[in-house]
Structure 1
Amino acid sequence: MAHFVVVGGGQAAASLVAKLRSEGFEGEITLISAEPVPPYQRPPLSKAYLLGEMEEARLYLRPESWYADQGITLRLGTRVTGVDPRARTVALDTGENLSYDELALCTGSHPRTLPEEIGGHLEGVYSMRDLRDADTLAPEMQPGRRALIVGGGYIGLEAAAVAAKRGVQVTLVEAAPRILQRVAAEATSDYFRSLHAAHGVDLREGVGLERLTGTDRVSGAVLSDGSEIEADFAVVGVGIVPATALAEGADLEIENGIRTDEYGRTSDPHIWAAGDCASFPHDGKRLRLESVGNAIDMAECVARNMMGAEEAYAPRPWFWSDQYDCKLQIAGLSEGYDAVHTRRGEGAAVSHWYYAGDRLIAIDAMNDSRAYMVGKRLIEAGKSPPPETVRDTAVDIKALLKA
């Protein structure tokens, strides 16, 4: 009987094993995760969970009993220390070696950390990636305390929003000229700058972190403009890097993540990868997506291909972020845009539509789920309504689908 082994404890790993069973795979499945709990969703960690609005059990993608019901062996709190592609075995920190017929690496990513020489080693300095991070950070979020947020991407802005809602005094520094510069147009940056300012966040753009201050625990920071601030704790949100150590140790090809072909197969024919850790060919270049949607879709495609489907993966990118009372929904990839067109919705709803030439490639929708759904359908169908029609609020949003 064939034995498929999956390494990971997040959305991709959970989606992959579920798809194997739903597609009729009857062999053995073992899911190995270094964390002590069943696979769980990450996005709520920096949102509802950190705010205390979601219990831990609700994070779990499926209850632990589901895996047993499906005949899936869970090895929790167990770390894979190495992969031997020739012997087709994985080494565990328990001293065991497990044989596999097919192996899927869904190892995710790690947060970038601050160097020790500028204070990254100090107590009270946090990253936000897993359940332990959230549980450790939560007690710091007390009214009247002072937080330094390093990084103006989505993780940093979400952490700032949670802290501000908890009554924390927040200073956020972003070394780039504007927040969200790498991932969004100026109009979207402007929206969230105003939103955070309205909630009392001291947002400093074009200002980097020179160093954290403090002996054993962080007590403040010196910024690149020479200013100094006091802080009781700091949250670092300066991006993530794909978790490729196991793949590198197995001599798999690495290219901005674990390099796969269009089927999710790595440079070894019996090893696959999916999710944040994997890069794949798309539109003549190599792409790696950090999103729940990609983790689910790619993992399900890989599951089918592990069973012999030979189905090329076609991504349909979508993302979201919750900050205060704003839900940002994103569809498509904005890279390469040359124009952004704004459509006003009802009340405070607004959406920004990204075009490359005359082609619609992405949409940012703030509290405008109708615009998001229409934009997403248009992008996935390869349709591009004229920009003047997008801007014209006299045109019903659904009429854009007939463009």
Structure 2
Amino acid sequence: MPEETFVIVGASLAGAKAAETLREEGFGGRIVLMGEEIERPYERPPLSKGFLLGQESRDKAHVHPADWYEKHDVELRLGTAAARIDRVAKQVWPASGEPVGYDRLLLTTGASPRHLDVPGSKLQGIHYLRSMGDSAKLREAISHGGRRVVVAGAGWIGLETAAAAREYRNDVTLIEPEPTPLHGVVGPEVGGIFAGLHRKHGVDLRLDQGVAGFWGAGQVSAVVTSGGAEIPADVVIVGIGVKPNTALAEEAGLDVSDGILVDESLRTSDPDIFAAGDVAAAYHPLLGRRIRVEHWANALDGGPAAARAMLGRDVSYDKIPYFFSDQYDMGMEMAGTSAPGEYDEVVFRGDREEMEFIAFWLAGGRVVAGMNVNVWDVTDDIQALIRSGKEIDRDRLTDTKIPLTEV
């Protein structure tokens, strides 16, 4: 019987962990891992955290040591963009070179930053953050301090880069069209807490307004808001979300809608093609609907789950979405989904003034999400409450004297 070939398109965290899992699970066939970047697979959280702040080395972000791929007989093809999938011939065609045949194919193509399409958007000094190279350029731009930094978008990337810019002693203005930071992610109750955190650290928040354009002669020198204000800027950081890289899947005729549609085993509409990470809109058996999760943990867990499914294992990928962030002296972890419309109320356990608390999002009396801020070793307990699906006694939930395991 000829050797099987498994191809992974996307040399990302999800792709690299999938290759690792295939070998750990005993797959002895050929593994081809191809990626558009020339950097070997790395984790993205350091790009807006430790690496951006100069606290972590470039190498620490890499998923595996440089010699891991050769030692484990994984063909790592960097600088190799996949241009086309021929599902009939079961081949992946790179942008240049010969096609690679596959028995099973995994797409871990990730997502790309959304760009602002406004006057002046091509000026120098406007930064988007997605790659290691992006982070290195941004660090060089803000690390000397004394710059006027304007951040467009108060999502997680916007808040983390704003915090990094302040740590480097820059003047920072944050522009956000919603009434609070993170408004569409955690709602106004917790979004307002993050507004207070950044104001406390000297960030000038311009809420309820967006970016109308940029001024400058070659180099950006000002940002114009939708309210008509002109904000001087030496550096601009745009963090207005990402869009999944689905073009390859769409052109191949796979089912796509805000991501590549996959079932709970991460299988696409083609039984020999799978998808994982940011690009996958996966059916979540616990939630009973499809979700697309853009966070690190989804890539870390989703790649291995897809690898096991490719091997024919019985997989039901039901991880609770998980995220963490570090801003100034605040560290937080979050589990579950908490967008407006998905909850009825938010209740708090602990001291919000001292920034040591847990926020719980409730829907129908059930916990659907929880965020622990400067409170540690409770993530498993929060996830257990979410998984239980039971109605919770609100008073017991908010009473710090009662352990979460006894709520």
Q: By the TM > 0.5 criterion, same fold?
A: yes
Compute the displacement of 1:287 (Å): 1.1
Unpaired segments ≥5 residues, structure 2: none
Compute the displacement of 1:381 (Å): 4.0
Which residue does the alignment assign to 2:317?
313
Structure 1: distance between partners of 2:11 and 2:29 = 21
Select which of 349, 358, 364 maps to 1:343: 349
Aligned counterparts, 1:334-373, within 5 A? 334-335=338-339, 336-344=342-350, 348-373=355-380
Structure 1: distance between partners of 2:83 and 2:270 = 18
Select which of 367, 383, 398 maps to 1:376: 383
1:136-167 residue CA offsets vs partner (Å, 9 max, x unmatched): 11111031110110001010000100000001
1:119 partnered with 2:120: yes
Structure 2: distance between partners of 1:63 and 1:199 = 37
| Alignment TM-score, normalising by the size of structure 1 | 0.95
1:390 partner amino acid: L
Structure 2: distance between partners of 1:349 and 1:284 = 33
CA distance 1:402–1:394, change in 2 (3 Å) = closer
Compute the displacement of 1:286 (Å): 2.0
1:30-53 residue CA offsets vs partner (Å, 9 max, x unmatched): 110111122100011011101111
Select which of 137, 157, 160 maps to 1:158: 160
Structure 1: distance between partners of 2:377 and 2:83 = 46
Structure 2: distance between partners of 1:333 and 1:84 = 36
Structure 2: distance between partners of 1:307 and 1:204 = 51
1:180-217 residue CA offsets vs partner (Å, 9 max, x unmatched): 10111333222211111111110111011111111322
1:257-281 residue CA offsets vs partner (Å, 9 max, x unmatched): 1111222111222111101001122
Q: Does structure 1 retain, via aligned residues, the 8 Å contact 2:364–2:391?
A: no
- Structure 1 counterpart SS, 2:63: coil
Select which of 183, 186, 189 maps to 2:188: 186
Structure 2: distance between partners of 1:281 and 1:375 = 22
1:1-34 residue CA offsets vs partner (Å, 9 max, x unmatched): 0000001122110111111111111111011011
Greater shift, 316-325 or 90-99, is seen at 90-99
Q: Does structure 1 retain, via aligned residues, the 8 Å contact 2:33–2:77?
A: yes
Which residue does the alignment assign to 1:388?
395
Which residue does the alignment assign to 2:13?
11
- Structure 1 counterpart SS, 2:219: coil
1:204-237 residue CA offsets vs partner (Å, 9 max, x unmatched): 1101111111132211011111211100010000
- Structure 1 counterpart SS, 2:92: strand
Which residue does the alignment assign to 2:32?
30
1:259 partnered with 2:261: yes
Unpaired segments ≥5 residues, structure 1: none
Which residue does the alignment assign to 2:283?
281
Compute the displacement of 1:345 (Å): 5.6
Q: Does structure 2 retain, via aligned residues, the 8 Å contact 1:187–1:352?
A: no
Select which of 325, 344, 347 maps to 2:329: 325
Compute the displacement of 1:255 (Å): 1.1
Structure 2: distance between partners of 1:202 and 1:287 = 34
Structure 1: distance between partners of 2:33 and 2:319 = 24
Q: Does structure 2 retain, via aligned residues, the 8 Å contact 1:188–1:364?
A: no
Compute the displacement of 1:402 (Å): 2.8
| Alignment TM-score, normalising by the size of structure 2 | 0.94
1:361 partner amino acid: V
Which residue does the alignment assign to 2:405?
401
Aligned counterparts, 1:95-114, within 5 A? 95-114=97-116
Compute the displacement of 1:119 (Å): 2.0
Compute the displacement of 1:298 (Å): 2.1
- Structure 2 counterpart SS, 1:183: helix
Which residue does the alignment assign to 2:300?
296
Structure 2: distance between partners of 1:215 and 1:107 = 36
Which residue does the alignment assign to 1:170?
172
Greater shift, 356-365 or 91-100, is seen at 91-100
Structure 2: distance between partners of 1:136 and 1:334 = 33
1:68-116 residue CA offsets vs partner (Å, 9 max, x unmatched): 111111111211111111111111233221111111000000000111x
- Structure 2 counterpart SS, 1:328: strand
Give the count of matched residue pairs: 399
Select which of 44, 47, 59 maps to 1:57: 59
1:379 partner amino acid: I
Compute the displacement of 1:291 (Å): 1.2
Compute the displacement of 1:132 (Å): 1.1
